[in-house]
Chain A
């Protein structure tokens, strides 16, 4: 199912309900397979539904690889895992040409596709590979194609890169360049599970192995969900709010906060606005609504923007991170854009969910 042809129409309940049920089932399965981290599962699913790439940051052993594997199983998508090491070469990811002898005795160069030719690519410890290798992923992430020796080959649809990086053991690592960071829809922090969940894992699973899913989504169903995603309506005020948020991350922005002016060197790019809009749509779908609300934007904004802000040295000295700056921005910016004077107060807020 492609994008809806009628721009003025809103998905009706009958159209929305099947997709909502499907995604809820995915979440349910994820929750069964991977105990705890329900919010992380939702955000990852939001990223998937937005057809974006996700950067998972967390210490080893918190379940990043298990999550990606489970997702691949649930969505019936091909899954490849690449452990990034310092000696990894671009050809190891994208593929290479090898000389092969054909049946008629002729020798020709045959392309051997690399692990990137999959639906879900788990780039484990992406910051361990050299920048050359990291940049090999750039084209595939953005263009969803690989060009080698003049030939462009499309990667399979859908294509997701879920990369992980270790926030500790930074010796011998190569921080991801801004250009590559900007191509990730989300940066999600994977934290350790609570004690109760850990207890449950230990007591119910041998060697921590997750159970297999009891249900998977077919390709057709996935296409249906993506089709419904395309029909989620983004009202103009919300679109305006997303734009104002992104503009406010720049120190020269009219609505920039004091923290932005003091700590941010470079703000988020227009790609962040596009990512936020898409992620908000997915969030609305998860909530069972055909339209995007301000709450959806506020939920996805930190994950979208916290890896896109380039902070200055003052932020490093004052130990201010991008997350707190984004939170401050969300708290200070008026969603509806009424620009009321400070002595006029509107009270009686209600959550969208």
Chain B
């Protein structure tokens, strides 16, 4: 009998396994369809990131569990399994009767119980699972723009943000913007890029403009400071070269020591001013040269040449800075041109000017005045920038004549009626009481008078009035 019970148990287990597999697949497929739908809805409506939606994979386990529970409920009882085995083994009811009564001697004659073959045509279940899996995968992979509800008009500000990012990088490299400030700006740009949408483009563009103004302002300030540095460097360079030239010629021409000393002092002051504003110059200049300058001691022509070279190099550095700012669209070309103009060094001109004005003004004033010579060099701290009037390209009177113009008929008529009152080179003036008609022909007319009166008419009105009265 154990063999028979084993047969029932074996068949029941196999049946249970198949039912469980079938229902688990069905429930997992159902979960897959639900999950896929939720993925699409959440991505479309809430923009939920994919990584969060992957948690839905955990739902497979409870779905399989539910399928298993359902399968266990669907499992037939042992008596039904016994009935099936009785039928399949051809026992003719003996195996079924053995459960209810003692079969006695018939047990030996009972055929062997053979469990029938169970086969599951699970194509449909697998197909359903495959379809559900595909649905989930598609829900994850479909691009956001296809699932987004009311996508609106996307606002692409990537180009502007990249440009601003590059500008901020340049300013940070040149130490014009501090690192914290630059990082704060970069962070704001990232946030702007993430929040930019077509729903409210004005807000985005306004924010972009505001963020753009900050580096622009910093660049403008830096450019202005750079031009000022260039100016100072140029002055110091010119003076250094002039001094070097003067000292080189000193043995032949006999330079004035007091003048040289004053020039050195002026040079020292100019270099100090330049050093204050330019760290590069500080790094490049030799300490001992700085000390000598500070003590206003004399430098040799070679040292002055070297100083002039150093100043030139620093000037070039400033020029390169401005070029980099210009390449990043932070400053315009005019500023570059201005810097170039300011950086032009006319050493010989200065030396000649100094020689000409020696003793008449201090070296400092002379340098300043020399620098101001040139049209339009005025400023708030530099005074008016008078430029000499120059005449050139004058036109010739040969063949000149007045342009012929056709006067309007009223003007022509008025001219015919006009009386030459006089000829003057000055502006014509009104003589007399000047009681020309101010309010027209009806001025002074009494209501209901009907009498004739005299009215002064303007020349241009005379023709009209004459034609009126001449109509009869």
Q: How many residues of B contact A (CB 8 A)?
A: 42
Q: Is the CB of A347 within 8 A of B117?
A: yes
A sample of 29 inter-chain contacts (CB < 8 A) reads A9-B101, A10-B104, A10-B106, A13-B109, A233-B97, A235-B96, A237-B79, A237-B80, A238-B93, A291-B94, A291-B97, A292-B93, A293-B91, A293-B93, A294-B83, A294-B86, A335-B84, A336-B84, A343-B121, A344-B15, A344-B118, A344-B120, A346-B84, A346-B88, A346-B118, A347-B117, A350-B89, A352-B91, A353-B92
How many contacting A-B pairs (Cβ < 8 A)? Answer: 138
Q: Which residues of B lie under 8 Å from residue A105 when comparing CB positions? A: none
Contacts of B117 in A (CB 8 A): 346-348
Residues of chain A from 72 to 93 with CB closer than 8 A to chain B in the complex: none
Excluding A296-B92, A338-B76, 6 further A-B contacts by CB distance (< 8 Å) are A8-B100, A235-B100, A287-B92, A335-B84, A346-B84, A346-B88
**Smallest CB gap from B76: residue in A:** A338
0/1 interface trace, chain A 330-353, chain B, CB 8 Å (1 if under) = 000001111111011111111111
User: Interface 1/0s, chain A 9-31, versus B by CB < 8 A?
Assistant: 11011100000000000000000
| A343 in contact with B87 (CB, 8 Å) | no
- Residue A284 CB within 8 A of the other chain: yes
Say yes or no: is A236 at the interface (Cβ < 8 Å to chain B): yes
A128 at interface by CB-CB < 8 Å: no
**Would you give the shortest CB distance from A294 to chain B, in whole angstroms?**
5
Q: Are B102 and A10 in contact (CB under 8 A)?
A: yes
Q: Considering residues A336, A338, A341, which has the most beta carbons from chain B within 10 angstroms of its beta carbon? A: A336
Chain A residues in 8 Å Cβ range of B80: 237, 336-338
The answer to whether the Cβ of B119 comes within 8 Å of any Cβ in the partner chain is yes
In chain B, residues 119-159, which have Cβ atoms closer than 8 Å to a Cβ of chain A?
119-122, 124-125
Q: Are B122 and A343 in contact (CB under 8 A)?
A: yes
B residues lining the A interface (CB < 8 Å): 15, 18-19, 22, 74, 76, 79-84, 86-94, 96-97, 99-106, 109, 114, 116-122, 124-125
Write the nearest CB–CB distance from A200 to chain B, whole angstroms. 33
A352 close to B83 (CB less than 8 A): no
Closest B residue, CB atoms, query A9: B101
**A293–B87 CA distance with the chains assembled, in angstroms:** 7
Whether the Cβ atoms of A291 and B93 lie closer than 8 Å is yes
- 9 smallest beta-carbon distances between A and B, as pairs: A291-B93, A237-B83, A235-B96, A293-B92, A336-B84, A348-B116, A350-B90, A293-B93, A336-B83
Expressed in whole angstroms, the Cα–Cα distance for A117 and B102 within the complex equals 42
With an 8 A cutoff between CB atoms, is A289 at the interface?
Answer: yes
Tell me the minimal C-beta distance from B68 to chain A in angstroms.
Answer: 15
CB neighbours (8 Å) of B82 from chain A are: 237
Q: Which residues of B lie under 8 Å from residue A12 when comparing CB positions?
A: 104-106
Q: Is A290 an interface residue (CB 8 A)?
A: yes
Q: How far is the CB of A241 from chain B (nearest CB, A)?
A: 8
Specify which chain A residues have a CB less than 8 angstroms from the CB of B88 in the assembled complex: 346, 348-350
Q: A158 interface residue, CB < 8 Å from B?
A: no
Known A336-B87, A345-B119, A348-B117; judge A291-B92 contact (CB<8 A).
yes
Contact A345 B118 (CB under 8 A): yes
A295 within 8 A of B: yes
Chain A 290-322: CB-based contact to B (< 8 A → 1; otherwise 0): 111111100000000000000000000000000
Residues of chain A within 8 A (CB-CB) of B106 are 10, 12-13, 290
CB-based contact B120/A238 at 8 Å: no
Cα distance A38–B114 when bound, in Å?
32
Q: What residues make up the interface of A, taking CB atoms closer than 8 Å to B?
A: 8-10, 12-14, 233-238, 284, 287, 289-296, 335-341, 343-353
Question: How far is the CB of B46 from the nearest CB of chain A, in Å?
Answer: 39
A284 to chain B, nearest CB (A): 7
Instruction: Decide yes or no: A291 and B96 within 8 Å by CB, A13-B105, A237-B80, A344-B19 being known contacts.
Output: yes
Report yes or no: B121 in contact with A345, Cβ–Cβ below 8 A: yes
Contact between A335 and B96, CB atoms less than 8 A apart? no
Q: How far is the CA of A352 from the CA of B94 in the complex (A)?
A: 10
Q: How far is A238 from B82 in the complex, measured between Cα atoms in Å? A: 12
In the complex, how many angstroms separate the beta carbon of B67 from the nearest chain A beta carbon? 13
Minimum CB–CB distance for B212 against chain A, Å: 68
Q: Please determine whether A351 and B118 come into contact, CB atoms closer than 8 angstroms.
A: no
Q: Which residues of B contact A349 (CB under 8 A)?
A: 87-88, 116
Once A343-B22, A343-B121, A348-B114 are accepted as A-B contacts, the answer to whether A338 and B100 lie under 8 Å apart by CB is no
A291 to B99, CA, bound (A): 12
How far is it, in angstroms, between the C-alpha of A40 and the C-alpha of B117 when the chains are bound? Answer: 35
In the assembly, what is the distance between CA of A345 and CA of B123, in Å? 13
A290 to B94 Cα, complex, angstroms:
8
> Taking CB as reference atom, which chain B residue is nearest A349?
B88
Q: Does the CB pair A335–B92 fall under 8 Å?
A: no
Shortest Cβ gap from B65 to chain A (Å): 20
Check A295–B92 contact: CB distance below 8 A: yes
Name which of A291, A295, A352 has the most chain B CB atoms within 10 A of its CB. Answer: A291
- Residues in chain B near residue A290, CB distance under 8 A: 94, 97, 106
Q: Which residue of B lies closest to A232 (CB)?
A: B93
In chain B, what residue has the closest Cβ to A350? B90
Give B91 Cβ to nearest chain A Cβ, in Å. 7
Residues B92 and A352 in contact, CB atoms below 8 Å apart = yes
Contacts of B90 in A (CB 8 A): 350-352
A243 to chain B, nearest CB (A): 14
Output the least CB separation between A353 and chain B (Å): 8
Interface centre among A233, A292, A351 (most CB of B within 10 A): A233
- Beta-carbon contact of A347 and B93 below 8 Å: no
Which residues of A sit under 8 angstroms from B122, Cβ to Cβ? Answer: 343
- The CA of A294 and the CA of B91, in the complex, are separated in Å by 10
Q: Is the CB of A341 within 8 A of B100?
A: no
User: CB distance A343 to B92 under 8 Å?
Assistant: no
